């Protein structure tokens, strides 16, 4: 502010000083000869400063001094003729002022138009960069795989900045090197075939080549002409690169570089600092995608590990249930049967007059008989023999009829084909899921009928269990049922199967199990 004020004062001083010099010269020339025309210079000096106020100042000072000269110059000839000359000079001064002001106004408009155009172009550029970030953020978040996200980003960036090649290097932490991934975007693969081949066998350390420089200092880099760059190894491996300008930027997870994206143009371009800033922000964005993909991969591996563990525990449980059922049925059942026979022999030896003893023996015999039935029931629940002796269809039907006799809930089974047989492990899985379905019917549905539809088509076994109860919708499922459903899903997923729950209020619930075999 102070500098501008000092500049204005200095220009005003120059105008006044020059005006005085011209006035002094004017007063030394007779009126008939002097006309005051040199005072036009004051307007031109104001115009030279490119400020309208300076032009106005020069015009006013020139006009005043022109008339001062009329009275101060030595008289000579006709005074009226000298007055007319001075008036013409003032007219010329103000015409010059007018044209100078018009020129300044036009120049100001032109300058503003140029600045507006630059501002508009900059706004367009920033808008396109913002849209680029949005597109990449959305598409990479929707991508199912990391490769799909990288491919889209390479293509989107190349099309945005109109460059011909894009490639992604992956950083291997063990070897501390960048490895080519084979993930490319190329507008003309045939033209850049040699460059692509060389790149795909090039491994780079920190500081080596364009990507290596990025790895070395974790910052974006720009090479104006890769063919003339002494630290671009690939230009020594191919006679004609076909590319000129290159840029590369890091992909971060936190502060760690996990990859480098490089792009090439077939034109020689000056470095663009704003573009490098945008590319660096995209590097952070892609890093978050890679981090999420890594977490998802680790989560998937952990879930697979848990599923294998669940499968192992389930197999152990089935084997243990089978062993316990056999021991309960064979050993405990045999002991109880032997006790029952011994009581029969004792009963035969009791004298007729000892009715009290006979009644006690009969009571004990009844208790043993009930215990034998309980042992059989426990043995069946632990490991139904139908799983080892019958088909899956017969096992489901047997369990359904048993369920009907115990609960009074009507059971109906339809199968296609009539007999469906699977291997023992898959049969056990379907059977246990079916048992859980029946348990949920008893606990939650308040149904009077259960229908089971069992089909086997083209290696896909489908079992639908439908009840006519009150209907369970997902948001109404309580914690106990959720755990039961989770157990069914885990059993099915061991074999690549799925479990679906559909229900409507007061219209019943359908549980569908699909299992490939």
Count of positions (residues) in the chain: 517
Cβ neighbours of residue 75 under 8 Å, at least 6 residues apart?
Answer: 30, 31
pLDDT at residue 264, as a whole number: 94
> Which residues are paired to 221 by β-bridges?
248
pLDDT at residue 212, as a whole number: 93
417 cis-preceded (ω within 30 degrees of 0): yes
Residue 367: band (very low, low, confident or very high) from pLDDT cuts 50, 70, 90: confident
Alpha-carbon distance of 427 to 413, in angstroms, equals: 17
Domain ranges for the chain, please list them.
1-116, 145-271, 389-516
The answer, yes or no, to whether residue 134 has pLDDT greater than 60, is: yes
Residue 449: band (very low, low, confident or very high) from pLDDT cuts 50, 70, 90: very high
SS (H, E, C) 255-306: CEEEEEEEEEECCCCCCCHHHHHHHHHHHHHHHHHHHHHHHHHHHHHHHHHH
User: Does the domain formed by 145-271 have CATH 3.30.450.40?
Assistant: yes
pLDDT at residue 110, as a whole number: 75
Q: What mean pLDDT do residues 417-440 have?
A: 84
Range with lowest mean pLDDT among 81-90, 118-127, 357-366, 378-387: 378-387
The answer to whether 503 touches 466, Cβ cutoff 8 Å, is no
Alpha-carbon distance of 28 to 72, in angstroms, equals: 9
| pLDDT over 70 percentage in the chain | 78
Count CB neighbours of 414 within 10 A. Answer: 11
pLDDT at residue 310, as a whole number: 63
> Model confidence over 223-245: pLDDT tens digits?
999 888 888 888 776 567 788 99
pLDDT at residue 504, as a whole number: 81
Distances (CA, A) of 215 to 167, 237, 241, 258: 15, 22, 23, 9
> Model confidence over 21-64: pLDDT tens digits?
766 666 666 555 555 567 777 777 777 777 788 878 778 877 87
pLDDT at residue 357, as a whole number: 78
The answer, yes or no, to whether residue 188 has pLDDT greater than 90, is: no
Q: What mean pLDDT do residues 264-274 have?
A: 91
pLDDT at residue 262, as a whole number: 95
Alpha-carbon distance of 235 to 229, in angstroms, equals: 8
> Which residues are paired to 512 by β-bridges?
464, 500
- What are the phi and psi torsion angles at 514 (to 5°)? -120, 130
Structure-block tokens of residue 488: 């069914």
pLDDT at residue 53, as a whole number: 81
How many Cα neighbours within 13 Å face the side chain of 245? 16
pLDDT at residue 352, as a whole number: 78
Cβ neighbourhood burial of 44 (10 Å; 0-12, 13-18, 19+):
middle
> Model confidence over 67-116: pLDDT tens digits?
776 666 666 666 666 677 778 778 887 888 888 888 888 877 777 766 76
Region 389-516: CATH code = 3.30.565.10
Range with lowest mean pLDDT among 30-34, 97-101, 145-149, 297-301: 30-34
Distances (CA, A) of 62 to 70, 86, 96: 13, 11, 11
The answer, yes or no, to whether residue 270 has pLDDT greater than 70, is: yes
The answer to whether 435 touches 467, Cβ cutoff 8 Å, is no
Range with lowest mean pLDDT among 36-45, 304-313, 332-341: 304-313
| pLDDT over 90 percentage in the chain | 21
SS3 188: coil
The answer to whether 426 touches 433, Cβ cutoff 8 Å, is no
């Amino acid at each position: 502010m102070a500098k501008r004020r000092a500049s204005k004062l200095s220009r005003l001083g120059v105008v006044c000083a020059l005006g005085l010099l011209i006035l002094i010269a004017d007063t030394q020339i007779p009126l008939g000869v002097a006309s005051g025309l040199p005072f036009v210079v004051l307007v031109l000096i104001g115009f030279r400063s490119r400020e309208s106020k300076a032009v106005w100042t020069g015009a006013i000072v020139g006009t005043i001094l022109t008339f001062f000269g009329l009275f101060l110059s030595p008289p000579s000839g006709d005074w009226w003729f000298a007055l007319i000359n001075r008036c013409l000079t003032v007219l010329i001064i103000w015409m010059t002022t007018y044209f100078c002001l018009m020129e300044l106004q036009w120049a100001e408009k032109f300058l503003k138009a140029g600045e507006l155009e630059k501002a508009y172009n900059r706004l367009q550029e920033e808008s396109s960069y913002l849209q680029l970030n949005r597109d990449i953020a959305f598409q990479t978040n929707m991508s199912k795989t990391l490769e799909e996200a990288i491919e889209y980003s390479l293509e989107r960036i190349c099309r945005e900045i109109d460059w011909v090649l894009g490639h992604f290097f992956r950083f291997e932490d063990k070897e501390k090197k960048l490895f080519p991934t084979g993930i490319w975007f190329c507008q003309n693969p045939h033209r850049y075939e040699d460059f692509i081949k060389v790149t795909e066998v090039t491994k780079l350390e920190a500081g080596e080549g364009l990507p290596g420089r990025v790895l070395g200092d974790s910052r974006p880099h720009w090479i104006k002409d890769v063919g003339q760059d002494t630290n671009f190894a690939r230009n020594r491996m191919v006679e004609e690169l076909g590319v000129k300008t290159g840029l590369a930027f890091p992909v971060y997870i936190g502060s760690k570089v996990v990859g480098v994206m490089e792009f090439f143009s077939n034109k020689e371009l000056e470095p663009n600092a704003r573009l490098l800033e945008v590319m660096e922000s995209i590097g952070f964005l892609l890093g978050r995608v890679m981090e999420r993909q890594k977490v998802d991969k680790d989560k998937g591996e952990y879930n697979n590990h848990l599923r294998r563990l669940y499968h192992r525990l389930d197999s152990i449980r089935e084997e243990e249930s089978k062993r316990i059922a056999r021991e309960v049925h064979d050993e405990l059942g045999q002991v109880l049967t032997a006790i029952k026979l011994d009581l029969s022999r004792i009963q035969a030896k009791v004298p007729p007059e000892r009715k009290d003893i006979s009644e006690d023996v009969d009571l004990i015999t009844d208790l043993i008989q009930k215990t034998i039935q309980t042992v059989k029931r426990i043995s069946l629940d632990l490991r139904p023999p139908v799983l080892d002796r019958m088909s899956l269809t017969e096992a489901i039907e047997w369990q359904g009829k048993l369920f009907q006799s115990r609960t009074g809930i009507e059971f109906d089974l339809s199968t296609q084909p009539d007999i469906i047989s699977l291997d023992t492990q898959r049969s056990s899985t379907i059977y246990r899921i079916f048992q859980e379905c029946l348990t949920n019917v008893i606990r939650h549905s308040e149904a009077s009928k259960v229908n089971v539809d069992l089909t086997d088509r083209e290696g896909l076994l489908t079992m639908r269990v439908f009840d006519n109860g009150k209907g369970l919708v997902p948001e109404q499922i309580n914690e106990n049922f959720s755990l039961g459903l989770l157990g069914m899903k885990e059993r099915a997923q061991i074999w690549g199967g799925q479990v679906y729950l559909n229900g409507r209020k007061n219209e019943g619930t359908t549980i569908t199990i699909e299992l490939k075999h």
